[in-house]
Amino acid sequence: MAVILALYGAFSYANINCVSTHFDEKAFVKYVIDGDTIVLSDNRHIRLIGINTPELSHNDKKTSEEGAEKARSTLIELLEEQAQIHLVYGEERFDKHGRTLAHIYDEEGLNIQSEILGRGLAMPLRIPPNLSLADCYDKASLSAKRENRGLWASSRYKPKDVLSLSGSEKGFYFIFGKVERVTESRSSIWVNLENNVALRIHKDDLNFFNKNDLMSLEGKTIEANGWLYKRNKQSRMRIRHELDLKLLN
């Protein structure tokens, strides 16, 4: 049920508050870099676990991805009246850039990631092993997607038929298409779609999938989300969790 947030006097779009039974630290926010990264008063950079917002260019706003400015301004709005925030660290505490990975909560215990997702201003992001709230974040995102809120009202973020891809696309996409074949290499399972698009499930991530389900996908139509990149003249996407794959038929 949506609630009124007395602290802001604003409507909360999160159908579910992804609660935590503990907090690791209280901290002060110094600056909001973009919709999924903040700087604390001690200059630590915090990357919000479980969400991905459109890329924001600080040098040339015209090159920012659609929705980037809105995601940042909303995060500022949610945090600017907070004397302190609460942090819950991820099982993996730092990313490859040295940023601290955390779930963040306001003073009233509202999970900020679920609020951003519920407003449709971010896409859910599942990166093992930081998956403790993956199901909850997925539910918050689905509520926004069903009602076409935020990013989900834009054609840029609606699922793309792989047959419509040119092969030059890069970045975070939702795609769908028919599975032509499923193969297994020494390190990965490859789900090959039409139009030379391949989904890669590294064997390090296989415990987050049902392998039999993956191997039986041939001939079926699926939806996937993740970062598209080009390798060996093929469009590829690494899939890290079963929530990033959806069977359409």
> If DSSP codes are grouped into helix, strand and coil, which group holds residue 74?
helix
137 and 237 both lie in a single domain: no
- Of 116, 132, 153, which residue constitutes the final position of a domain? 153
Q: Please give the Cα distance from 24 to 179 (Å, whole number).
A: 43
145 and 192 both lie in a single domain: no
Per the structure, the count of domains in the chain is: 2
16 and 115 both lie in a single domain: yes
94 and 35 both lie in a single domain: yes
66 and 144 both lie in a single domain: yes
Radius of gyration of the chain (CA): 19
Through-space distance between the first and last CA atoms of the chain, rounded to whole angstroms = 31
- 171 or 2, which is more confident: 171
- pLDDT tens-digit profile of 64-98? 999 999 999 999 999 987 779 999 999 999 999 99
Q: Structural domain of residue 17, as residue ranges?
A: 4-153
* Per-residue pLDDT at 6 exceeds 70: no
108 and 36 both lie in a single domain: yes
CATH number, domain of 175, equals 2.40.50.140
113 and 137 both lie in a single domain: yes
125 and 181 both lie in a single domain: no
> If DSSP codes are grouped into helix, strand and coil, which group holds residue 91?
strand
Q: Please give the Cα distance from 97 to 108 (Å, whole number).
A: 30
- Counting DSSP H helices and E strands in the chain, the numbers are 4, 17
136 and 178 both lie in a single domain: no
130 and 190 both lie in a single domain: no
Q: Please give the Cα distance from 35 to 53 (Å, whole number).
A: 6
- Of 153, 180, 213, which residue constitutes the final position of a domain? 153
- pLDDT tens-digit profile of 97-146? 999 999 999 999 999 999 999 999 999 999 999 999 999 999 999 999 99
**Is the bond into 129 cis (omega within 30 degrees of 0)?**
yes
Give the type of residue at 64.
S
- Of 138, 153, 168, which residue constitutes the final position of a domain? 153
Element (H, E) at 116: helix 112-118
